[in-house]
Amino acid sequence: MAEVKRVNKRAFLREHRKDGKALEMVRIFSSNYLAMIGLVIFLIILIAVIFANVIADYNSIAIATHPADRLLPPSAEHWFGTDDLGRDVFARVLHGSRISLRISVGAGFLGLFIAGTIGSVAGFYGGVVDNILMRVIDVLACVPCIVLAIAMVAAFGASEFNLILAIAVSTTVGLSRTVRTAVMSVRNMEYVEAARAIGQSTWKIIPRHILINCIAPIIVHLTIIIACNILTTAELSFLGLGISAPTPEWGCMIAMARTNMRSYPYLVIAPGVAIFLSAISFNLIGDGLRDALDPKLKR
């Protein structure tokens, strides 16, 4: 028998290496300055989340009341002033980022899991399965997002996990449709048929040829969903359905400060700006990712 030819694959690829895919994505992403602004804001928020306790202690500063210091204007000591119970607003906004991000990102990924399953099954199999799943989604779509979340929180009680679940379910509607459309558009591509023609099995075709090509729209939608979730969390807390009183939550803080808004606007502005910045950072990052994840885009 003739000797089998061998070529060292790794060595060959190393020798002919060009810039990796990942590096190219980073380059495209970093050349988009709006996306970079989003990323910088996000990193600042991330630092706040990680070091919140180092910067300002939770129990002694963010929670404990200091009746003597109530409603102080912004100063070197209290950057954003203090609220009607004498708590430092800066510390509360800082700690609020932890809760806000935990709920919105958690709900985003939980929603992605639910929607991903529903959407990809519906998109890949089509027909009756698709019809049934999509009608269920249609029913959910008839109820406004926020009302659905309110109903769920009201029914199951206002714990943090319930809040995440409620928001996740309410985001499923849009996200599962995105996943379904993406899967459907890829399912009929010729390379999927080519994979079938060489005898590749279905359970390998789905991740290798279908899901990988759906990732871009899904990730982009996910970042937008997370931005929305930040707002929804705030809205629910504002209505008193989310996180309850002493816990520093942005929506909650605005609700509490509402009565004093005329005379002490900074009480509303600080958490408001925090909500705005975190939401917009996710939106900008999503925009940048859309371009970076497109394999057809040239360097």
Partner 1 sequence: MTDHNTILQVRNLKKYFKVGAGLLHAVDDVSFSIERGTTLGIVGESGCGKSTLGRTILRLVEPTSGDIIFEGKNITHVNRRAMKQLRKEMQLIFQDPFSSLNPRISISCAIDEALVLTGRYKDADERFAKILDLMGSVGLDERLANAYPHELDGGCRQRVGIARALAMEPKFIVCDEPVSALDVSIQAQILNILRQLKKDHNLTYIFITHDLSVVNYISDAIAVMYLGRVIEMAKTEELFANPLHPYTNALLSALPIPSIHNRKERILIRGEITSPINPKPCCRFAQRCDYCTQECLEKEPPLVDLGNGHMVACNRVGK
Rounded to whole angstroms, the Cα distance separating 101 from 243 reads 13
What residues between 21 and 80 interact with partner 1 by CB under 8 A? 21
* End-to-end Cα, the chain, rounded Å: 47
Q: DSSP states of 142-164 as a string?
A: HS-HHHHHHHHHHHH-S-HHHHH
- Other CB atoms within 10 A of residue 147 CB: 10
How far apart CA 197 and CA 274 sit, in angstroms, is: 53
Q: Which of residues 200-229 bind partner 1 (CB under 8 A)?
A: 200-201, 208-209, 212-213
Token pair listed for 298: 């040239």
Cβ atoms within 10 Å of 258's Cβ, excluding its own: 12
- Shortest reach from residue 278's CB to partner 1, in Å: 31
Q: Which is nearer to partner 1, 138 or 193 (CB)?
A: 193
Q: Return the number of other C-beta atoms located less than 10 Å from residue 101's C-beta.
A: 21
Q: Per CB under 8 A, does 4 bind partner 1?
A: yes
Choose, by CB under 8 A, the member of 22, 54, 155, 197 that binds partner 1.
Answer: 197
Given 59, 76, 155, 190, the residue binding partner 1 (CB under 8 A) = 190
The residue type at 53: N
- Considering the rule CB under 8 A, would residue 6 count as an interface residue with partner 1? yes
Regarding 295 and contact with partner 1 (CB under 8 A), the answer is yes
Q: Which two tokens stand for residue 140?
A: 């959910």
Answer for which of 1, 2, 5, 59 binds partner 1 (CB under 8 A) is 5
Using CA atoms, how far apart are residues 219 and 285, in angstroms rounded to an integer? 10
CA distance linking residue 55 with residue 52, whole number of Å = 5
Work out which of 1, 2, 16, 263 binds partner 1, going by CB under 8 A. 16
CB of 157 to partner 1, least distance (A): 44
Q: Which of residues 1, 18, 22, 155 is near partner 1 by CB under 8 A?
A: 18
Give 201 or 263: the residue with its C-beta nearer to partner 1: 201
Query: How far apart (Å, rounded) are the C-alpha atoms in residues 84 and 69?
Result: 9
128 sits near partner 1 (criterion: CB under 8 A):
no
262 lines the binding site for partner 1 (CB under 8 A):
no
Closest to partner 1 by CB, 6 vs 262, is 6
Binding site for partner 1 (CB under 8 A): 4-9, 12-13, 16-18, 21, 189-191, 193-201, 208-209, 212-213, 295-296, 298
